[in-house]
Amino acid sequence: ATPTAIMVGTGLAARHGILIKDANALELAHRIQRVVFDKTGTLTVGKPSLLHIIAVDGDERQLLQQVLAVEHGSLHPLARAVREHAAGQQVQAASAQDMHDLAGLGSVGTVDGLRIHVGNARWMRALNIPMAALQTAADAQAGHSLAWVGTTNPPRLLGLLVFGDALKPGVQQAIAHLHSLGIHSVLLTGDNASSAAQVANQTGISQVLAEQSPETKAEAITALKQDGRIVAMVGDGINDAPALAVADVSFAMSSGTDVAMHTADITLMRADPALVADAIDLSRRTYRKIK
Ligand code: ADP
Ligand code: MG
């Protein structure tokens, strides 16, 4: 494309809320063959609400106080949902020490001498915390995001939290638009398989990779790039940064964290997945014109 065509293309994109970093990003965008989406905050609203609390010992209020303490400083959307729910119930946090977040796994902190972990099943398995006591309850919540609660001294399950998060409006059409451009769609998420499958069913996304860590997300992108395919990744969170860095073209939602935005080739000023197909469409028209 001529410098003028590139200027016109990036200018037009900017007016649609699509900020393209440079000419190289625009050039690559018109050759994208696969688009990979993060789920939470990218395809879903990212404002989950806490629907149910299940305590192994039946004391749901104490479990909420413990979880609240551990999640106190976490920026994860599920942590926000816990705080919001607790505020509504006027539940106060227990006192906790040494709290921190592990991206793509959960949060940990010490409450009353117990090391308490709040996170996904993959993490519980890694910590040898048995989930059998609540497995039936978890299976009954198919389609929802879950956070397991367990302690490691000694390994013991404490409970389970169930969250609901709505899809953004127009996601189905956004995916259909991509497919009409001949592009393959993939869902790549740290969430559980049944919640991921539910989103894929509702949106028409072709391929699903669930229970991913930030590292395996990056590995999945590398695998999708094999045979020279041009792969784009769309994400919003800290846990997406490694995958965004590996992708040929990275899209970050402006609602996302700074980490995601700094690594991105294309920044979407509205957290609307429909802008991805719009950007590709626009880049194709820019390059088609001057051939
Ligand atoms: P996504 O890839 O969909 O953006 P994440 O990797 O952020 O999802 O989280 C995946 C899963 O890890 C969540 O569904 C939850 O089970 C667990 N998790 C991660 N961070 C937290 C946290 N701070 N509190 C509770 N659970 C968490
Ligand atoms: Mg996310």
Catalytic residue among 38, 165, 240, 265: 38
Burial of residue 67, with CB atoms counted within 10 A of its CB: 0-12 exposed, 13-18 middle, 19 or more buried: buried
CA of 190 to the centre of ligand 1 (A): 6
Q: Specify the pLDDT at position 291.
A: 45
Question: pLDDT band at 2, cuts 50/70/90?
Answer: confident
DSSP 270: S
**Which pair of tokens denotes residue 103?**
């991206």
264: nearest Cα among 279, 274, 286, 285: 279
Q: Across-strand partners of 96?
A: 111
Q: Across-strand partners of 223?
A: none
Q: How far apart (Å, rounded) are the C-alpha atoms in residues 70 and 128?
A: 19
> Looking at ligand 1, which atom is closest to the CA of residue 147?
16
278: nearest Cα among 230, 228, 234: 234
Per cent of the chain over pLDDT 70 is 96
Question: pLDDT band at 34, cuts 50/70/90?
Answer: very high
Q: What is the dihedral of CA 116, 48, 39, 256, to 10 degrees?
A: -90
CA of 146 to the centre of ligand 1 (A): 8
CA angle 285, 287, 291 (to 5 degrees): 115
Q: Specify the pLDDT at position 256.
A: 58
CA count, 13 A, side-chain hemisphere, 202: 16
In the predicted model, is pLDDT for residue 290 greater than 60?
no
Q: How far apart (Å, rounded) are the C-alpha atoms in residues 195 and 162?
A: 11
Q: Look up the ipTM and state it.
A: 0.96
Q: For tokens 């905050």, what's the residue?
A: 41
| Per-residue model confidence as pLDDT tens digits over 141-194 | 999 999 999 999 899 999 999 999 999 999 999 999 999 999 999 999 999 999
161: phi then psi, degrees, rounded to nearest 5: -115, 140
- What is the overall mean pLDDT for the chain? 93
Q: Give the binding-site residues of ligand 1, using a 6 Å CB cut-off.
A: 38-40, 71, 74, 76, 78-79, 101, 104-107, 118-120, 145-147, 189-191, 237, 239
Q: Specify the pLDDT at position 14.
A: 94
H helix runs in the chain, sequence order: 3-15, 23-29, 60-70, 77-88, 121-126, 135-139, 171-180, 193-203, 214-224, 241-246, 258-263, 274-289
CA of 146 to the centre of ligand 2 (A): 14
Q: Specify the pLDDT at position 288.
A: 82
Q: For tokens 């991206």, what's the residue?
A: 103
**Which pair of tokens denotes residue 201?**
């069913």
Active site residue 38: yes
281: nearest Cα among 203, 174, 190: 174
Question: pLDDT band at 258, cuts 50/70/90?
Answer: low
> Looking at ligand 1, which atom is closest to the CA of residue 146?
16
In the predicted model, is pLDDT for residue 279 greater than 60?
yes
Question: pLDDT band at 259, cuts 50/70/90?
Answer: low
| Per-residue model confidence as pLDDT tens digits over 85-118 | 999 999 999 999 999 999 889 999 999 999 999 9
